[in-house]
Amino acid sequence: MEIQRKIAGDSYELLVSGRVDGEGANQLDEAILAILFNKNKDIQQEPKTIYVNLSGATFLCSAGLRALMQHSRTMKSRRGRLLATRPSTEATEVLKMAGLYEQLVERI
């Protein structure tokens, strides 16, 4: 799995491609934590919104959803938002089964 990061002011986008399985979920978790806690010392502005673009996710499991849910709560407590965007067919199926599609996916 690969994650690319794009920054526009206080908006951060993570473009996820490949399998978000157990190992991929750990990577995603680390990538979000790096933004939330400025782990790489490269965050200029406090994140207001984190977008996780799932258009390239070929697989998504509950571990990946856990990372999204937990950090969505963290962002909410900071008066920000974490949203999933453009989920692939595979990611959409799983988000809907978990009852998270309506709550986490941004309508574009």
Partner 1 sequence: MEIILKNKPEEKRRLLAALETFACAHQLPKPVFRAADLVLEEHLTNVMSYAYDDGRDHEIRVRLEASPSQIVIEVEDDGRAFDPTHAPELDTFLPVDQKPVGGLGIHFIHRCMDEVRCQRRANRNVLWMIKRLPVAAP
Per CB under 8 A, 4 contacts partner 1:
no
Closest CA to 35 of 19, 54, 51, 59: 51
CA dihedral 93, 96, 102, 106 (to 10 degrees): -20
Sorted by sequence, the CB contacts under 8 Å of residue 77 that are 6+ apart come out as: none
Q: Candidates 2-10, 29-37, 49-57, 88-96 — which segment interacts with partner 1 by CB under 8 A?
A: 88-96
Helices 62-77 and 22-36, axial angle in degrees (round to 10): 10
Nearer to partner 1, 53 or 72 (CB): 72
Q: Candidates 9-17, 31-39, 40-48, 86-94 — which segment interacts with partner 1 by CB under 8 A?
A: 86-94
Binds partner 1 by CB under 8 A, chosen from 66, 74, 85, 92: 66
> Which residues of this protein are in contact with partner 1, per CB under 8 A?
21-23, 59, 61-63, 65-66, 69-70, 72-73, 76, 90, 93-94, 97-100, 103-104
